[in-house]
Structure 1
Amino acid sequence: MKSITINGSKRESVGKKSTKALRNAGQVPCVLYGGGQEPLHFAAEEIAFQNLVYTPDVHTVEIKLEGDKTFNAVLQDIQFHPVTDAILHMDFYEIFEDSEITMEIPIHTEGIPRGVKNGGVLRYNLRRLRVKGLPGDLPDYIVADVAKLKIGEKLYVTAVESDQYKIQHPDNTVICQVRTSRNIVALDEEEEDEGEEVAADDVPATEVDEAENKE
């Protein structure tokens, strides 16, 4: 998994007045938990978090503080201003190479479902999977091959199991499925489509149906 470096400085004062002054100066107050120590308060420029916050990808974070050691961590919580969407506060949790962590990893679908070629619609039930593993073993994203899905078929989390991580969802959790639509055509499921292929991620899909996760 990719890592982002954040350069910051320790906070000597954590009161409301100090916090307001930091935000006015374009900095974000942060807290680092874990590691068997007291929470560590620090601050960093808001622009330093852009590649961490405003992206669908997940990253580990290398926090470098002036006059202190470097900490490896993951983003645990973030608070935004309700009107401006400016970052108000961030919580991080320290991680270690030999300790497992739980993270939500994005899913990238691969291939064109057979059912979509026949006029069906690919519906996504999950865009991310919650997995547990060692930081060095967690991928940037999880690939789900949907090419063989016919109309009415579903892809379950068991299809993307790996020795590198443990999926924290029940085995009957659905990642995606091909549903019927009004544009179904009478084609042999085994017939190859001579048209231009489009990645499954580009196939129009209806909104996520959370109820399907309970099936």
Structure 2
Amino acid sequence: MTLQLKKRSEAGKNQVDKLRAQQIVPGVIYSKGNEAVSVSVVEKDLLKAYETYGTSSIFKVDIDGDVQQVLIKDLQMHPFKNQILHFDLYLIDMNAKIRVQVPVVLEGRDEIRVQPSVLIQMINEVEVECLPADLPSEAIYNVENMEINDQVLVKDLDIASNDKLEFFIDLEEPVAVLQEPQEEVESDLEGENMDAADVPTVSEQEAETEEN
């Protein structure tokens, strides 16, 4: 898809509020070495682009007839309404390297064979640098066959073997771990505490001896 944008000259809270009332979102496009350009977009179209591309996939925008390639840099959401207040895009030079946070996707969460178990994910994104054409949209690992206490490291992700990427995170950093459910651990501890409570203390033993 190509996202249709319009350059805008409106400034100030009143003008911006008028746009939002029409379900049009104000935004800015940034590019290296150039001034930022104020633009606007139909909210539902922007939401569709965000759901499709996220913040790590390059896509096309048409700015009053000028087609460019961009990344979504940021979306500002309303604190309690389902509404986008503002957006930032970054204009991409296909010949210059870019540094991007790539989302980590753990596939097979619902098919993990060891049950009961809890998959704990510690890292949701990994930062990489590369040419735009080499940019991966996701960093994937399939967790279906993990065993209890198994760890997924950054080096286990599918993009780790891509020599076109420069990583800005330790490849030995843990991404996720499979553990036993916490309720079972707490239940075991409660059982141990109950067993300990059943054992008489020294003073209780002495009192029982005196009675006998």
TM-score, with length taken from structure 1 = 0.70
Q: Distance in 2 between matches of 1:111 and 1:12?
A: 48
Structure number with greater Rg is 2
Distance 1:149 1:82, change over 3 A: closer
Task: State the AA in 2 paired with 1:65.
Answer: I
Alignment partner, residue 176 of structure 1: 176
Displacement of 1:96: 1.2
Alignment partner, residue 148 of structure 2: 151
2:93 alignment partner, SS class: coil
Report percent identity of matched pairs: 24
How many residues align? The count is: 179
The one-character-per-residue Cα deviations of 1:177-212 (angstroms, maximum 9, x if unpaired) are: 1223449xxxxxxxxxxxxxxxxxxxxxxxxxxxxx
Structure 2, unaligned runs of 5 or more: 186-212
Distance 1:118 1:83, change over 3 A: closer
Distance 1:120 1:137, change over 3 A: same
1:97 aligns with 2:94: yes
Task: State the AA in 2 paired with 1:84.
Answer: K
Q: Distance in 2 between matches of 1:64 and 1:73?
A: 10
Higher relative contact order (CA 8 A, sep 6+): 1
The one-character-per-residue Cα deviations of 1:47-78 (angstroms, maximum 9, x if unpaired) are: 111223346854323221125x2221111122
Distance 1:122 1:80, change over 3 A: closer
1:139 alignment partner, SS class: coil
Distance 1:97 1:128, change over 3 A: same
Alignment partner, residue 135 of structure 1: 132
Displacement of 1:103: 2.2
Distance 1:57 1:18, change over 3 A: closer
Displacement of 1:143: 2.0
Task: State the AA in 2 paired with 1:74.
Answer: L
Distance 1:159 1:18, change over 3 A: same
CA contact (8 A) 2:114 2:146 kept: no
Distance 1:88 1:119, change over 3 A: closer
Q: Distance in 1 between matches of 2:48 and 2:164?
A: 25
1:97 alignment partner, SS class: coil
Distance 1:86 1:121, change over 3 A: closer
Candidates 64, 67, 78, aligned match of 1:66? 64
Distance 1:24 1:119, change over 3 A: closer
Which deviates more, 139-148 or 88-97?
139-148
The one-character-per-residue Cα deviations of 1:153-194 (angstroms, maximum 9, x if unpaired) are: 3111022212132232223321111223449xxxxxxxxxxx
CA contact (8 A) 1:81 1:87 kept: yes
TM-score, with length taken from structure 2 = 0.71
CA contact (8 A) 1:123 1:179 kept: yes
1:117 alignment partner, SS class: coil
Task: State the AA in 2 paired with 1:178.
Answer: L
1:175 alignment partner, SS class: strand
CA contact (8 A) 1:57 1:141 kept: no
Q: Distance in 2 between matches of 1:153 and 1:83?
A: 38
Structure with a larger share of its residues in helix? 2
Task: State the AA in 2 paired with 1:174.
Answer: P
Displacement of 1:42: 1.0
RMSD over aligned CA atoms reads 2.9
Displacement of 1:88: 1.0
Which deviates more, 14-23 or 91-100?
14-23
Q: Distance in 2 between matches of 1:56 and 1:127?
A: 16
Structure 1, unaligned runs of 5 or more: 184-215
Which deviates more, 97-106 or 22-31?
97-106
Alignment partner, residue 25 of structure 2: 28
